[in-house]
Amino acid sequence: MEFRVEADIPEALKGLKFDWKVDGRSFSGQGTPVIQIATERKDANSNITAEVKILGEAAKCSVYLSDSGGVAPRLPNESLDEWGKLDPNDIRGRLDVLFSSLSNNPKYEGVLVLSFGTEETRAYKLRRLNLIYNHIIFRKFDQRRISFFLGKDTFERTVVWQIPAGFDYSEIGIDETKLIKAEEFKIKITKAFEDK
């Protein structure tokens, strides 16, 4: 985020001193007409207020200004994680991160987009999907909150999304009618690769 003091005539800012204050935050640019504040994900949906005291040496006076700016919410279409071929235990560890995140966000759903390369067999694909499904069962995580989507790619890749309720799946290239809910997994997954 950036705050700046501007003047109709830029030369009017020359020779002035700028004393900035931003509560509880570090920033760069102290003493200049422009400061930059680094924001983090935890700042989403919050406001940041900056105050500046402008000192005019020649006129021996000062002016106080303040302004606030809002930090944008975290976009719902930011993926939570992504990986290629991994050892089964590494996949389980990443799934645990997803489960933890979803536990902290009860109105969100986890969607795993699984793509496979052309060389992977049907048996390999089913093994990989079963590994994920079995870990959901092992952790006793609510199956209604996890969905699978079979994507297309030239190499193996898994992208994990954390989706809020009412989100338009088409924004991230997912056809909602082709989602496989974890609770329907055993019924639908055996047919998933019949034409592959």
| pLDDT at site 75 | 57
Question: CA-to-CA distance for 24 and 160, rounded, in angstroms?
Answer: 33
Which of 178, 172, 173 has its CA nearest to residue 147? Answer: 178
- Residues β-bridged to residue 116: none
Least confident of 77-81, 95-99, 101-105, 168-172: 77-81
Which of 129, 124, 81 has its CA nearest to residue 102? Answer: 81
Least confident of 28-32, 47-51, 87-91, 178-182: 178-182
Question: CA-to-CA distance for 37 and 39, rounded, in angstroms?
Answer: 6
pLDDT of 136 strictly over 90: yes
Question: CA-to-CA distance for 108 and 102, rounded, in angstroms?
Answer: 6
Structure tokens at 174: 């997912």
Phi, psi at 157, each rounded to 5°: -155, 140
Q: What is the mean pLDDT of residues 109-133?
A: 90
- Residues β-bridged to residue 64: 53
Q: How does the average pLDDT of the chain come out, rounded? A: 87
| pLDDT at site 196 | 46
- Asked if 125 and 193 count as a contact pair (C-beta separation under 8 A), the reply is yes
pLDDT category of residue 10 using cuts at 50, 70 and 90: confident
Structure tokens at 34: 């422009």
Q: What is the mean pLDDT of residues 80-84?
A: 89
- Asked if 190 and 180 count as a contact pair (C-beta separation under 8 A), the reply is no
Global pTM value = 0.59
| pLDDT at site 88 | 95
| pLDDT at site 167 | 83
Q: Give the tens place of pLDDT for each residue, 25-51.
A: 889 999 999 999 988 767 777 899 999
Higher pLDDT, 189 or 181: 181
